[in-house]
Amino acid sequence: MKKKIFTLILSLVILLISSSMLFSQNTDYTPIMDELTTEQQEMLKNERQVMIENRKQLRESLTEEQLAILRDKSLSKVEMKQQLKASFTNSQNSMVRNQETRLRKVREKFRSTLTQRQRQLLRERLQRLRALRDRGELRDGARVRGKIRNMNSGN
Overall pTM > 0.85: no
Q: Using DSSP, state whether 87 is helix, strand or coil.
A: helix
Between the CA of residue 107 and those of 11, 40, 48, 115, what are the distances in Å?
A: 42, 11, 12, 15
What does the pLDDT read at residue 13?
Answer: 58
Angle at 119 between CA 100 and CA 53, to 5 degrees: 30
**Residues 49-95: tens digit of each pLDDT:** 999 999 999 999 999 999 999 898 998 989 999 998 999 999 999 99
What does the pLDDT read at residue 14?
Answer: 64
What does the pLDDT read at residue 122?
Answer: 86
Q: What's the whole-number mean pLDDT along residues 115-132?
A: 86
